[in-house]
Structure 1
Amino acid sequence: MNIKQNNFFQKSLLSLAVIGALSSSTLVAASQESELAATEVITVTATRSQLNIDDALTSQVVITRADIELANPLSLLDLLATVPSIDIASNGGKGQTGAIFMRGTNSSHTLVLVDGVRVSSATAGSTSLNTISPAMIERIEIVQGPRAALWGSDAIGGVIQIFTRQLAGGELFVGASFGSENYQKYEAGAGIRHGDGQTSITLSKEQSDGFDVQNDMETDDDGYDYTSIAIRGQQKLSKDFSLDWLLSSDSGDNEYDGFYNGSDINNHAWLVRANYASTIKGIQNQTVFSVGQNRDHVDSLRDGVSQGIFETRRDQYALLNNSQLSADWQVNLGVDHYQDDVSKSSTVYDQGKRATTGVFANTLYTLNDWTFEATLRHDNVEDIDSENTYNLGLGYTLDADSRLVLNYGTGFKAPTFNDLYFPFGGNADLVSEYSESVELFYETKIAGVNSRFNVYHSDIEELIVWGGTQAENIDQVEIDGVEFAFNLDKFGGRHDVNFSYTDAKDKATNEQLIRRAKEKFNYKFTTSIQGVDVYGEYQFVGSRTDSVWGVGTVKLAAYQLLNLGLNYQLSDNFTLSSRVTNLLDKDYEMVSNYNSQERAFYLGVSYHN
C-alpha cells in the first residue's frame, strides 16, 4: 500500500471512528442478529450433508434472511461485496454484467448453486448473478477454498449456494420499493400448506431507467426490467420418505452501450429430490436422489433486433448417501452426472454436447479434541482428461471457544465450450485448469468477541487465457492471502469487521491479476434506536489493475463506499424500509471505462402476516 492509499485509508477509518463515538452514547443495544448468533447454524454446502457450521473444517460465511432484510440490498452482488476476499467487478451496476473473484481466483473459479442446481453457463462459464433478486433468497452459504473434491469442476476458489425462500403455510408478504433513476420493485410471496408438506411461491419484478454505464460517446441511460419467480416445496410421504422440489425463473431485458446495445434474458432451473431415511444394523443413513435442469438463454440485440442467441442447457442427476456410523463419525458417498447442451445457440460449435460424471467419498471423524476430514473424487469429462481431486482437513479444539484448522485441497476447472469450440479462437486441445491450495485458520471467542484469522496459499496451473489468436493453457498463478474477521455486540450495537489481503500474481510476469484488489476492508454496524433498526456499511477496496484492448494494463484507483439502511416497524404487519447507497457520492470504477452508480436513495413498504 503506497503512502497516498494509506492516508486515504486512515482518514476513512478516522471518520468512521468519530461518527461511531458520537453515536454510541445515544444508541440502544438491541439487535436481531445478536439473537441469531446464539442459535445453531446448520449448513449443507461444506460436506453435502447437514452439519453444524462449528463442526465443519472449512471457512464459511452464512448470510441469513434476517441479514438480507436488515441490509435492503438491491442485488446479490451487494450482499457478496462485504464478504472477506471477494472482489466484485460490475460493468455499470445492477442491470449489467457482474463478476466475482473469490480469494484471487478467476470469476469462473467459483461454483454457484441454487438449491443444489449448477447455474453457470456452459459457453461462457460465468453465472448471471444480477438477475437473481434478493427477495427470492432465504439464505446464502459461502464456502471459501477448493471444494472440487465434493462438487467437481469450477470449485477452485469456493462455492456459493443460494437457497430460495421458505414460507410457512398461510404466511404471506407483499412489498413495493421506489428510488433513484425511476427504480421500482414489487414483490410478493405466499406459503401453502398441503398435508405434511408446504410450498412457497415468491415473485419479484424490478425495473429502472438506469444510468449511462460506459464512458464513451453514447450518453443514454441504460435501464433494465427483470421478473423472477421461485416455487419451492416439500412433501412428507411417510415417516422415512419425502420429496422436495424447486422451480425458479429469471427473465427480462437490459440495455448497454456498444454495437450490441441490449439483450433479452430467460433463465430457469428446476429440481425434484427424493429423500429416504433408513437404519441398517444401527447405522443411520440419509439417501438422496435428485434430477434437475438449468437453462440460461441470452438473445443479444442491436436496436431491438436479434443478433444471435446463446443458450445452454444442463441436465443434472445426483445420488448421495450420508451414513452416521457413530456420534463422532460420518461417511458421505455420491455420484454426480450432468449433460451440457449448446445445440440451440445461434453459434455453431464443433461439439454441441458434453457429459460429465463424478464419484466421491467423504469422511469426517472426531476423536477427543481432534477432527479429521478426507475427501477423494474422480471426474470423467467427455473429450477432456479425467481429473482426480482431494481434500484433507485437520482440526484441533484448544478449548470450548477456540480451534485451529489446517486444510489442503486440489481443484479443477474444465474448459468451456467457448474455450474449446468457439469458431473464432476456440482450441480443442485445451486441458483443465488445476489448483493446489493450503489454508490454516484459527477462530476463538474472547470476552464476547468472535474472531477468525486465516492464511492461505494457492497455485493454479494451465490457466486458460487468450493467446492472441486462440485460447491457450499458458499461465501459472500464485496466490497468497490473509483474512481477519471479528464481530461483537457492544458499544450500542453489533459490529462486524473484516480485512483481507490478497496477492494474486501471474508467475511469468509477476503482475497482479486484473480486477482484484490486494487490500479490502469492510465494517458493518447494526443497532436499534427507538424501534428503528439502523444498518451502516463501509467498504474500502484498494487499487486494482485492468486490461483494455489496444491500450494494455491500466490502473483502477482505490475507493470507499458508505451505505446506510433503516427499517421501521409501523405496526405488527407493516414495515417501512429505506436505503442510501454510495452516501459519499464517490466516483469510482470497478471495470475500466465503466461508470458506477452515484448516490442513490430507495424507500419501500412491506406487509407480512
Structure 2
Amino acid sequence: MIKKYSFSALSVFAFFFSFAQEQAIDTVFIFDKQLNSSKKFQKITLLEEDDLLRNTTNLSDVLRFQSPVYIKENGRGSVSSPSFRGTTAQQTAFVWNGININSVLVGQGDVNNMNLLGYDQLQIKSGGGSVIYGSGAIGGTIHLNNELSFNKGFHSTFFLEAGSFSILNTFLKTSFSNDKLSIKVSGNYVKSDNDYEVPEQKYVNLNGSYQNKNYNLGAAYKINPQNTVSWQTQIYDGEQHFPIFSEFATKTKYLTQTFRSLLEWNFKSSQFSNTFKVAFLQDDFQYFDHLEGPKNSGGNSHVYLAKNDFNYLFNDKIAINLIADYQTTTAEGFNSGIQTPKRNSGSLAGLLRWNPSHKFNFEAGIKQDFVEKIESPFLFSFSGKLNASPFYNVALNISKNFRYPSFNDLYWKPGGNLDLRSEISHQAELVNKFTFGNFTFNATPYFISINDMIRWLPNNKGIWAPINTNKVESYGLESELNFAKDFGQNKTKLSVGYGFAHSENVETKKLLSYVPQHKLFGTAVYQYQIFELFLQGTYNGLTYTTDDENLQYSIDPYFVINTGVKVILLKNYQIGFKVNNVFDEVYETTKDYFLPIRNYSANLLINF
C-alpha cells in the first residue's frame, strides 16, 4: 500500500532560459518542453502508441527491439536495467514528464517496474544531459511522457491481450477535452505465470511469475490564453517473483509501490514564458527471501521538488533559458543498515541559444548543483549545428556530466562508503544527418570519458563495498536508416539501426562487462488498406559478463525476430496476432537467465 504523506512547503524556485522558437502545438500540453530544444542538436528516437503496441510484453522489449539501448534482464519480467553507449544503468536517467525519477536508494531505474502503457509516448536520447536532467544523465536519458490535448471531445481506448505463459494485459484510457479543460484517466493490469521452458538448455523459469497495476490521472485547465495549470499523477503497484534454478531452492519475491504527482503552472507570451513545477515522488520496495514469510529487507524514499524554467526571447535570433530547482529527499531502510538519511539539493543552470541564420544554430549551457555533503562539479554543455545543404546537416555536442552517490552507496551496512566522490564524465559526439527523398540516415560517432566511476567490489575483509575506481573510456558509433513511402493504398515504413560500443577500463585495458560491442535492430511495416504486417529483429554480439573478458562466462551472440499482423475493422476495432522469437533462438541477456523461445499473443484494440 502507498503510505500516507504530508506535502511540505517548498520555498525555493528561480529563473532559467529556453528558446521560444520551438513551441508546442497549441492544442497539446507537453510536460517535458526542454526535449523539443534538444531535437535540434541530438538524435532522439520517438516511439508513439503504434510503436509501443508492437512490444506490449514490457518496456524491456520495446527498448531491446526499437532502440540502441542494451537491456540486461534477469529473465523475462524480472529485474531489468538499461545501458547506453557502453555505460551502466547508473549512468542512465529515467525522466518522467521532465522530472528525473531514478531511485535515490540505488541510483537507477528498473525497466520492468515502469508500466509500458501508462505513457502516451516514449523518447530515447543518447548522450549526456546533466545540465537539464541532473545526476545520472551520462550515457543517455529515457523519457516517459504524458500529453493532454484540448478541443478533442470524448475519446476512449480499450486494449486486451492474451498469450503464452498465461499472460494477460489489459488497458483502458478515457479522455475528455474542450477549449478550456482537458482530463485523461487510464489504468493498466498485467499478469503472467511466466513459466516458460528452454529445452535446449534444460532451463525452466521457475518462480518467475509477475503482476502489476498502474493508474494515471492527468488534467489541465486554461485560465486564459497565457496561463495553463496542469496536474499529472501516477500510481504503480508491482510484484515480481525472482527466478530460481531448482525446484528445491527457496522462492523469493519483490514488491514495488510508486506514487508520483506533478503540478505545473505554465505562462507564455510572445516574448517570454515560464514554467513552475512542484512534484512529490514516493518509492517503496520490500524483498521477501521466503515467498510466504515476512519481508527480509526493504526501503522507502520521498522526494519533494520545486522547479522553475524561465525563457526569454530577445529577438528572432537570441534567447536565454534559466532553470532552477530545489529538492528535499528522505529515505528509510529496513534490515539494510540505512536509518533515515536526508538530503537537500538544488541547482542553477543557464542556456544561451543563438540562431544567427537559417544555416547555423548554437546552444551553450552551464550548471552548478548544490548537494548536501557532496562535492558537485561545475557542468557545461555546447551544441552547434550547421545546415550544410538541403540533404545534409551536422551537429557537434560537447558536455560535462556527473552522478553523485546514491543512499545505498553511502549508507548501506555493511559496506557503505561516506567518502565517495561524484562520477564525472566528459563527452563529445558528431551527429550527421543525410536526407535523400524518402530516406534519412543518421550516423553519430561519440567519445565518453568517465572518472571516479563508483563500483561495488569486495574489500580486504571480503565485504562488498563501493569505491571510486577506474577511469572508463567509451567510444563508438550509433547509426540509423529510416524509410517511409506510400504507394497508393500501400504504405511502407522501415527503420534499421546499428550501434558499435567499445567501453574499457583504462587501467586494465579490458572491456566492461555486459557491454556488447555490436547491436543491430530494426522494424519493417507494410500496410494495405485494413491489413498491416510488421517484422522486427535485434542482434547482439558477444557479451562479456566478467571484467577479465573470460570467454567461458560470456554470452553468445544472438539474433531474435518477431512478427505480427493486425486487421482494422470498422475504423474503431483492431485485432492483432504476434509471434515472438519466430526461429526459436536460444538467448540470454544476463548469464544463465534465458529468455523465452517462440511464443504467441493475440490482442484486441477498440477506440470509441
Bucket of the pairwise TM-score, normalised by the shorter protein: 0.7 to 0.9
Query: Among 419, 423, 426, which residue is 1:429 paired with?
Result: 419
SS at 1:472 equivalent: strand
User: Are 1:213 and 1:594, in contact at CA under 8 Å, matched by a contact in 2?
Assistant: no
1:482-536: CA deviation from partner (whole Å, max 9, x where unpaired): 1221111359721111111100111111111111110111121001145211111
Structure-1 separation of matches of 2:423 and 2:251: 31
After superposition, the Cα gap between the structure-2 partners of 1:485 and 1:367, relative to the gap in structure 1 and judged at 3 Å, is: same
Q: AA paired with 2:255?
A: D
State the distance in 1 between where 2:329 and 2:234 align: 19
Which residue, 308, 326, 349 being the options, matches 2:338?
349
**Using a 3 Å threshold, how does the CA distance of structure 1 residues 459 and 468 change in structure 2: closer, same or farther?**
same
Residue of structure 2 in register with 1:183 after alignment: 167
Helix, strand or coil: the match of 1:242? strand
Q: Which residue of 2 aligns with 1:374?
A: 364
- TM-score, length-normalised on structure 1? 0.87
Secondary structure at the residue paired with 1:93?
Answer: coil
Cα separation, 2, equivalents of 1:313 and 1:555: 39
Written as runs of structure 1 = structure 2, the 5 A alignment for 1:568-587 is 568-587=567-586
What corresponds to 1:478 in structure 2? 473
How do 1:279-294 residues align onto structure 2 when only pairs under 5 Å count? Answer: 284-294=271-281
Please state how far the C-alpha of 1:346 moved relative to its aligned partner.
4.7
Match of 2:588 in 1: 589
Question: Percent of pairs identical after alignment?
Answer: 19
- SS of residue paired to 2:76: coil
The CA deviation string for residues 24-83 of structure 1, in whole angstroms up to 9 with x for no partner, is xxxxxxxxxxxxxxx99x998997264483xx11221111223223x2432112221235
Structure 2 residue 234 is matched with structure 1 residue 248: yes
Q: State the distance in 2 between where 1:459 and 1:548 align.
A: 18
Q: 426-435 or 311-320, which moves further after superposition?
A: 311-320
Which residue number in structure 2 is paired with residue 304 of structure 1? 292
Aligned to 1:360: 349
Letter in 1 for 2:256: I
C-alpha distance in 2, partners of 1:333/1:142?
24
Aligned to 1:148: 130
Q: Distance in 2 between matches of 1:98 and 1:416?
A: 19
Number of the residue aligned with 1:27: none
Secondary structure of the structure 1 residue equivalent to 2:527: strand
- Residue 140 of structure 2 corresponds to residue 158 of structure 1: yes
The answer on whether the counterparts of 1:233 and 1:244 sit within 8 Å (CA) in structure 2 is yes
Cα drift, residue 320 of structure 1 = 0.7
Find the residue that maps to 2:477 and give its secondary structure.
strand
Matched AA of 1:364: R
Helix, strand or coil at the partner of 2:553? strand
Asked if the contact 2:31/2:146 (under 8 Å) is kept, the reply is no
Q: Specify which of 59, 64, 67 is matched with residue 48 of structure 2.
A: 64
Matched, 1:208 2:192: yes
Matched letter for residue 164 of structure 1: N
Q: Mind listing any 5+ residue stretches in structure 1 that lack a counterpart?
A: 1-38
1:79 to 62, 69, 74: 62
Deviations 1:416-453 (A, max 9, x none): 11111101111100000000001112101013210111
Deviations 1:303-359 (A, max 9, x none): 222112221222111011111222232211010222221126453426611122111
Distance 1:548 1:438, change over 3 A: closer
Name the SS for the 1:431 alignment partner.
Answer: coil
Which of the residues 396, 419, 442 maps onto 1:452? 442
Equivalent position to 1:320, from 296, 305, 309: 309
Residue type at the aligned position of 1:411 = N
- What residue is the counterpart of 2:75 in the other structure? 92
- Number of equivalent positions: 561
Kept in 1: contact 2:130–2:402 (CA 8 A):
yes
Task: Sort the Cα spacing of 1:278 and 1:46 in 2 relative to 1 into closer, same or farther, 3 A.
Answer: closer
* 1:109 and 2:91 are equivalent in the alignment: yes
1:240-296: CA deviations, max 9, x gaps? 1111111101102121135561122211111000111245xxxx1111111112222
Amino acid paired to 1:372: F
Match of 2:429 in 1: 439
Give the structure-2-normalised TM-score: 0.87
**Distance in 1, Cα, partners of 2:551 & 2:412:** 24
**2:257 counterpart residue number:** 266
8 Å contact from structure 2 (residues 230, 264) kept in 1: yes
Among candidates 92, 113, 119, match of residue 101 of structure 2: 119
1:540-561 deviation per Cα after TM superposition (whole angstroms, max 9, x unaligned): 1101011399x99821100011
Q: Is contact 1:351-1:421 (8 Å) kept?
A: no
Q: 1:218 to 1:565 in 2, by over 3 A?
A: closer
Aligned to 1:135: 117
Match of 2:321 among 314, 332, 338: 332
Is residue 603 of structure 1 aligned with residue 602 of structure 2? Answer: yes
Is the 8 Å Cα contact of residues 562 and 584 (structure 1) preserved in structure 2? yes
After superposing the two structures, state which structure 1 stretch, 101-110 or 341-350, moved more: 341-350
Residue 208 of structure 2, aligned match among 222, 225, 230: 222
Pick closer, same or farther for the CA change 1:510–1:548 going to 2, 3 Å: closer
Are the counterparts in 2 of residues 213 and 221 from structure 1 also a CA contact under 8 Å? no
Q: Any unmatched runs of 5+ in structure 2?
A: 1-24, 245-249, 460-464
- Greater CA drift, 185-194 or 497-506: 185-194
Which amino acid in the other structure matches residue 177 of structure 2? R
> How well do the aligned residues superpose, as a CA RMSD in angstroms?
2.6
Structure 1 CA distance, aligned partners of 2:232 and 2:396?
Answer: 36
- C-alpha distance after superposition, 1:134-181 (max 9, x if no partner): 322211122211111222211111221111364743101222111000
Distance 1:479 1:472 in 2: 20
Instruction: Name which of structure 1's ranges 166-175 and 198-207 shifts more when overlaid on structure 2.
Output: 166-175
